[in-house]
Structure 1
C-alpha cells in the first residue's frame, strides 16, 4: 500500500503481512525479514526499512517507496536498451554481493522483487524468504523461493 508519513509528508510503501498466512512458521522466521532489512540498511541497492509494527492479525513494514515500479514492468515496457540492462544487471550484482557479504541468502530474487527508484536504479526488496548466517560452507537445500524461478539444481538435491 502507498501511505504518507505524517511527520515528513513523504510517500512510503506499507507492506502488510497477514499472520494467519504465517501459521507453521516459528517466531525466528517471522522476524527474519525485519532483521535482514536492518542488516542491509543504507546500501544503495537495497530497500530501506523505516519502521515495523504489528496488530493482532497483521505485521506491517514501513519502507521506502519507489515510483519506478519493478524489473518485470520495465522489461515488459520494452524501454530497456542493452546499456540500461547492463547497468541494471551490474547494480543487481553489487546489491547481491553486499547481501551475500553479510551472510544473507535472499531466497527470492525475481523481477517483481527488484524495484526501481525514480532514476531507474535497482533496489532489492522482499527479504521474506531470506536465510541468515550463510557463511563459508553453509548451504540451503530443497525448494526455496518462487516456484517459476527456482534453480533447477535445487530440485535434484
Structure 2
C-alpha cells in the first residue's frame, strides 16, 4: 500500500509540473543572436548550426513558432536550475551555466512539451523548446547540442 501511495504522489507531482503555465517572461518574440561557444558534442555541423542565427522564435500560451512553423504545445514544465544541478545533469559534456554566460545563483528552465517533429531535417528536436531564462531580455536555447543566445525583439 505504501508503495502505491508513493507512486501516486510522484505521479501527481509530475502531472502538476506538466501543467505549468508559459512564464510571462518568455512570452513574445526572440531573435537568435549568436551561437554560444561550448565544448559539448553536437549533432550538427557548424554550417547547420549557423543557419539558426538571425531566425526568430515566438512563444505564446499553447504554441511556439519558429521559421514560419507553429508547434502546438502539450504542456510546459518549469524548474529552477542552480550551477550545481546544471553541471551534474551535464557532467558528460562538462557544460556549466557560466559557459552560457549565466552567472546567477539560479535560472529558470522551461521545457516545452510537444509531439516529435522533423523541423530541421536532422532531429526531432524543435529549436527553442528548451529554454533558460537568462535575463529579462535574454534567453538561452539549445538544439542538437548547440546553445544559442536569443534577445527579445522590441515591439
TM over 0.5: no
Q: Normalized per residue, which structure has more strand?
A: 2
Q: Normalized per residue, which structure has more helix?
A: 1
Choose between structure 1 and 2 for higher RCO, CA contacts under 8 A separated by at least 6 residues: 2
TM, length-normalised to structure 2? 0.25
TM, length-normalised to structure 1? 0.25
